[in-house]
Structure 1
């Protein structure tokens, strides 16, 4: 089964004609224009003067299908007409949150293994379109503006996931094993990356609540290390404490400190933070 991607459900209303369109997208709903033959023809004729209202952001497929289908039925998006007997909604089929609008295609055959291999060979060596870009998706290849980010933030502000949704996600992830090959790819992808100055400052200013600290402490107690890891952690490391004093502590104590490294009680003596602490002490 194809992996579900978190999805926005939205309603677009044409400011001139009043026609509405209910749809879904995994990208930015304020940038995405929508799909469906009727809706796109309407935009071509009357222009894209549209208001977008986000009605939901779904993390699970079942939740998305349930909300989308119920909204479609409650508003009768396929058949509803106004007093002039004109369609209120541009939708021609029920929106289920998965398939999208009616685009004219009726056959969606999956690719054969032979086709998949041909596509794989043809793309080898090519540079991904989104390399080096942030805030983009296949449906929206232009990074989101600060205005769009703010609108998305306001649309989702205060919304909390139900406990049922959280439990379903936890159950789905339980037992999931990350292969060694995947671990190496993740590691290679992060090598050489450095946090920006602004990002580091945000982390430094972040306040960890006592509840979170207790959770971290309890999680550390249950943590088990392999013999190889234990050997790496054995011995001592030279550190600088918050007062600028240099001392040696056990590696296990050093690596078990919570939070960002620059905020630790003990930091490596040769790290940037360690040098700053020694300079402050004089």
Structure 2
């Protein structure tokens, strides 16, 4: 637990499942936590744990040196912080709302114009993982402010700073999620295919999970093909990859579960 000499005044705006988990982690870390949510009843458990409930989001922001937003979307973020520009001047705002990189950059420009230290973030965890060893959060933007509050942010999970570009954390976040959803799409299609042979998706899951986990070690080998393509020599030729994807696509068609997925992969992975 953080001692009284290092405790920070932190406000959390938005108490959905994730915002609540963030506030709980801050309270467990010994910080002075003020919370606000449109539906005040959601704050009752946190107040019982020691949080202070603000009457308005502006009041919550004025009560803290570090303000954390975890709301629905970019318009919701703007709704709260733009009218509170005066209260936020000289403070640090960490936006953990999922937005696009350009939305994050636009918010960063607003923050610079209003003398607000903005850190944009992307949470790589579900609420139950917050504070656990598997959770990490991506951050970008105001470097000095991140360094100042890093110990606080580490309460949520490993804090990974990815650059001063306000949009960098959002880009990394969405890139990782894109990989995740692509994997899920492959499993969904594979499950349909094996069922046509009398198999089950449940059995496929037990086989696919360890194989894909092992294959993630290949990311480091493929990365130079993206970062330095002129000097990259792939382990497998593009022709091999194309042939493999063509065979998988043919098998999907033969099973009666044809999909556009493998054609998309063929266009997306020409150099692997």
Query: TM-score by structure 2 length?
Result: 0.25
Query: TM-score by structure 1 length?
Result: 0.25
User: Whose helix proportion is higher, 1 or 2?
Assistant: 2
Q: Decide which structure has the larger Cα Rg and report it.
A: 1
